[in-house]
Protein backbone atom coordinates (compact mmCIF):
# COMPACT_ATOMS: atom_id res chain seq x y z
CA UNK A 1 0.00 0.00 0.00
CA UNK A 2 1.30 3.45 -0.93
CA UNK A 3 1.74 6.07 1.79
CA UNK A 4 1.20 9.67 0.73
CA UNK A 5 3.61 12.01 2.54
CA UNK A 6 2.43 15.61 2.87
CA UNK A 7 4.62 18.70 2.84
CA UNK A 8 4.99 20.06 6.37
CA UNK A 9 5.54 23.61 5.05
CA UNK A 10 4.76 25.74 2.01
CA UNK A 11 7.60 26.74 -0.26
CA UNK A 12 9.73 25.39 -3.10
CA UNK A 13 11.07 21.84 -3.30
CA UNK A 14 14.83 21.35 -3.25
CA UNK A 15 16.81 18.18 -3.93
CA UNK A 16 18.35 16.65 -0.82
CA UNK A 17 21.73 16.90 -2.56
CA UNK A 18 21.45 20.70 -2.21
CA UNK A 19 20.95 20.61 1.57
CA UNK A 20 24.02 22.09 3.33
CA UNK A 21 24.42 19.09 5.62
CA UNK A 22 26.16 15.92 4.42
CA UNK A 23 23.93 13.61 6.45
CA UNK A 24 20.92 14.80 4.46
CA UNK A 25 22.72 15.56 1.17
CA UNK A 26 24.08 12.01 1.00
CA UNK A 27 20.74 10.54 2.13
CA UNK A 28 22.46 8.83 5.06
CA UNK A 29 19.25 8.83 7.12
CA UNK A 30 17.10 8.06 4.10
CA UNK A 31 15.77 9.42 0.82
CA UNK A 32 13.39 12.31 0.48
CA UNK A 33 13.25 15.92 -0.57
CA UNK A 34 13.67 19.29 1.13
CA UNK A 35 11.46 22.35 1.07
CA UNK A 36 12.70 25.93 1.12
CA UNK A 37 9.91 27.44 3.25
CA UNK A 38 8.06 30.67 2.48
CA UNK A 39 7.04 32.27 5.76
CA UNK A 40 6.50 31.75 9.46
CA UNK A 41 3.98 29.00 9.92
CA UNK A 42 3.08 25.78 11.64
CA UNK A 43 5.01 22.74 10.44
CA UNK A 44 2.44 20.02 9.80
CA UNK A 45 2.50 16.27 10.38
CA UNK A 46 3.39 14.61 7.05
CA UNK A 47 1.43 11.40 7.75
CA UNK A 48 -1.05 9.96 10.23
CA UNK A 49 0.79 8.29 13.07
CA UNK A 50 2.57 8.65 16.39
CA UNK A 51 5.22 11.21 17.26
CA UNK A 52 8.10 8.85 17.96
CA UNK A 53 10.63 11.68 18.26
CA UNK A 54 9.92 15.31 19.03
CA UNK A 55 12.36 18.18 19.39
CA UNK A 56 11.68 21.86 18.77
CA UNK A 57 13.60 21.68 15.47
CA UNK A 58 12.74 18.14 14.27
CA UNK A 59 10.22 15.36 14.63
CA UNK A 60 9.52 11.84 13.41
CA UNK A 61 6.01 10.54 12.77
CA UNK A 62 5.66 6.76 12.53
CA UNK A 63 2.63 5.48 10.63
CA UNK A 64 0.59 2.53 11.89
CA UNK A 65 2.47 0.21 9.50
CA UNK A 66 5.84 1.23 11.00
CA UNK A 67 7.04 3.60 8.27
CA UNK A 68 8.69 6.69 9.75
CA UNK A 69 9.03 10.16 8.28
CA UNK A 70 11.53 12.70 9.61
CA UNK A 71 10.85 16.43 9.32
CA UNK A 72 13.84 18.67 10.12
CA UNK A 73 13.09 22.38 10.45
CA UNK A 74 16.20 24.06 9.15
CA UNK A 75 19.82 22.93 9.23
CA UNK A 76 21.86 23.04 12.45
CA UNK A 77 18.83 24.55 14.19
CA UNK A 78 19.47 22.28 17.16
CA UNK A 79 21.97 25.02 18.11
CA UNK A 80 19.06 27.42 18.60
CA UNK A 81 18.08 25.33 21.66
CA UNK A 82 14.37 25.65 20.95
CA UNK A 83 14.36 29.44 20.67
CA UNK A 84 11.81 30.53 18.09
CA UNK A 85 10.03 27.16 18.00
CA UNK A 86 6.72 26.41 19.75
CA UNK A 87 5.53 22.81 20.14
CA UNK A 88 1.81 22.12 19.70
CA UNK A 89 2.04 18.42 20.64
CA UNK A 90 3.94 16.04 22.90
CA UNK A 91 6.11 13.01 22.17
CA UNK A 92 4.02 9.86 21.90
CA UNK A 93 0.90 11.72 20.80
CA UNK A 94 -1.12 10.47 17.84
CA UNK A 95 -1.34 13.01 15.03
CA UNK A 96 -3.25 13.25 11.77
CA UNK A 97 -1.59 14.20 8.49
CA UNK A 98 -1.79 17.99 8.18
CA UNK A 99 -2.06 18.59 11.93
CA UNK A 100 0.14 21.44 13.28
CA UNK A 101 3.16 20.10 15.18
CA UNK A 102 5.60 23.02 15.59
CA UNK A 103 5.26 26.79 15.06
CA UNK A 104 8.46 28.35 13.69
CA UNK A 105 9.81 31.23 11.62
CA UNK A 106 12.25 30.40 8.78
CA UNK A 107 13.31 34.06 8.57
CA UNK A 108 14.36 33.98 12.24
CA UNK A 109 16.35 30.81 11.48
CA UNK A 110 18.14 32.65 8.66
CA UNK A 111 18.71 35.69 10.87
CA UNK A 112 20.38 33.38 13.40
CA UNK A 113 22.77 32.25 10.64
CA UNK A 114 21.23 28.89 9.76
CA UNK A 115 19.66 27.46 6.61
CA UNK A 116 15.84 27.29 6.72
CA UNK A 117 15.72 24.26 4.36
CA UNK A 118 13.41 21.53 5.65
CA UNK A 119 14.42 17.98 4.75
CA UNK A 120 11.51 15.52 4.73
CA UNK A 121 12.98 12.02 4.82
CA UNK A 122 11.61 8.48 4.63
CA UNK A 123 13.53 6.54 7.28
CA UNK A 124 15.21 3.17 6.80
CA UNK A 125 14.44 2.64 3.09
CA UNK A 126 16.13 2.95 -0.27
CA UNK A 127 15.19 5.69 -2.72
CA UNK A 128 13.61 3.24 -5.18
CA UNK A 129 10.48 2.97 -2.99
CA UNK A 130 9.69 6.68 -3.22
CA UNK A 131 7.90 8.59 -5.96
CA UNK A 132 9.32 12.07 -5.32
CA UNK A 133 8.15 15.36 -6.81
CA UNK A 134 10.62 17.24 -9.01
CA UNK A 135 12.93 19.71 -7.27
CA UNK A 136 12.23 23.37 -7.89
CA UNK A 137 8.45 23.01 -7.78
CA UNK A 138 6.18 25.06 -5.52
CA UNK A 139 4.42 23.11 -2.79
CA UNK A 140 1.70 24.05 -0.32
CA UNK A 141 1.74 22.77 3.26
CA UNK A 142 -0.59 19.81 3.65
CA UNK A 143 -0.42 18.73 -0.01
CA UNK A 144 1.40 15.66 -1.36
CA UNK A 145 5.19 15.91 -1.36
CA UNK A 146 5.98 12.30 -2.26
CA UNK A 147 4.54 8.81 -2.18
CA UNK A 148 6.12 5.90 -0.36
CA UNK A 149 5.45 2.80 -2.41
CA UNK A 150 5.37 -0.68 -0.90
Q: Among positive and negative, which fits the CA dihedral 25, 39, 63, 50?
A: positive
Tens-digit pLDDT string for the chain (150 aa) = 899 999 999 999 999 999 999 999 999 999 999 999 998 889 999 999 999 999 999 999 999 999 999 999 999 999 999 999 999 999 999 999 999 999 999 999 999 999 999 999 999 898 899 999 789 999 999 999 999 997
| Secondary structure (DSSP) of 41-65 | EEEEPSSSEEEEEE-SSEEEEE-TT
* Backbone φ/ψ region at 107: left (φ over 0), alpha (ψ -120 to 50), beta: alpha
Domain residue limits at 85 = 3-148
Q: How many domains does the chain have?
A: 1
From the candidates 36, 55, 57, 72, give the one annotated as an active-site residue.
72
- 27: CATH: 2.70.70.10
Is 72 one of the annotated active-site residues of the chain?
yes
Amino acid sequence: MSLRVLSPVSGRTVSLTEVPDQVFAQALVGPGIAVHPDDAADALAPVDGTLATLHAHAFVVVAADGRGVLVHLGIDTVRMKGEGFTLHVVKGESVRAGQPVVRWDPKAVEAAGYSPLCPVVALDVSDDVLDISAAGEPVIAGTALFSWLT
